Amino acid sequence: MSFGDPNPNNPYGQPQGQPEQPPQPGYGYPQHPQQAPQGVPPQQGMPPQPGYGYPQAPPVQPYGAGGYQQPGYGIQPQYAGWWRRFGALLLDMLVIGVPYGVIVGIGGAIGGGAGSAVVVIGLLVGLGLGLFKLYKEGTTGQFIGKKALGISLLREADGRPMGFGMAFVRNLAHFLDSLACYIGWLWPAWDAKKQTFADKVCSSVVVKAG
């Protein structure tokens, strides 16, 4: 009985009774591409990362060097005019000065030791309100007057609140505005950035809020 090919001269004959084996990948036959699951699109190449053919965004510039998007006043700040700054200062002086003046006046009317104690209380109230004003302007940019007039005290470099320490230093620097017939207080009326001398020394600006 013969189990080979009927043609004994055929060296590639397949033994009878055995199924023909499919060709194996990697032995001269092209491999079939891997099929993606149904409903899933074939993966594409990874998108190029920034720095590998994609232009990168330009660096953020402070508004003193061309402007940048700053919440509250857009790309370029809108500096507060002299009258608005004066009105805010006047309101703050009333908020601080009226309680101080009333308490000190009562102490003076009473007289004696009790009156002196009331005067001291008035001085402490005025000092406390003054420090609270600097704290609010340093941390939020606004006290009662600036909030009512819609303006804020900010750092010129980045448009952020300048902090309590710098707000205190700026308040001390106002003595420069009082020199030479108080011309520093009037300087915002014609200055390009509406700054007093104290603003220029402390690198601060007063801008319209919102």
Taking the CA atoms of 9, 10, 12 and 13 in sequence, report the sign of the dihedral they define: negative
pLDDT the model gives residue 201: 96
Check if the beta carbon of residue 196 is closer than 8 Å to that of residue 86.
no
In a domain, 159, yes or no: yes
pTM of the model as a whole: 0.64
* pLDDT tens across the length of the chain (210 residues): 444 455 555 555 555 555 555 555 555 555 555 555 555 555 555 555 555 555 555 454 444 433 335 444 456 789 999 999 999 999 999 999 999 999 999 999 998 999 999 999 999 999 999 999 999 999 999 999 999 999 999 999 999 999 999 999 999 999 999 998 999 999 999 999 999 999 999 999 999 986
Residue with the two structure tokens 């005025």? 126
Q: Which residues contact 193 (CB under 8 A, 6 or more apart)?
A: 79, 156, 199, 205
In a domain, 128, yes or no: yes
In a domain, 158, yes or no: yes
Nearest-angstrom CA–CA distance, 54 and 47: 10
In a domain, 96, yes or no: yes
In a domain, 179, yes or no: yes
pLDDT the model gives residue 136: 97
Domain encompassing residue 86: 82-208
What DSSP designation does 3 have?
A: -
In a domain, 39, yes or no: no
In a domain, 170, yes or no: yes
For the chain, what is the domain count?
1
pLDDT the model gives residue 62: 46
In a domain, 59, yes or no: no
| Helical residues (DSSP H) of the chain, grouped into ranges | 82-110, 112-139, 144-149, 163-173, 175-186, 197-202
CA atoms within 13 A on the CB side of 125: 16
Give which of 80, 123, 85 is closest to 104, Cα–Cα: 123
Report the b/e string of 73-102 with b at 16+ CB within 10 A. beeebebbebebbbbbeebbeebbeeebee
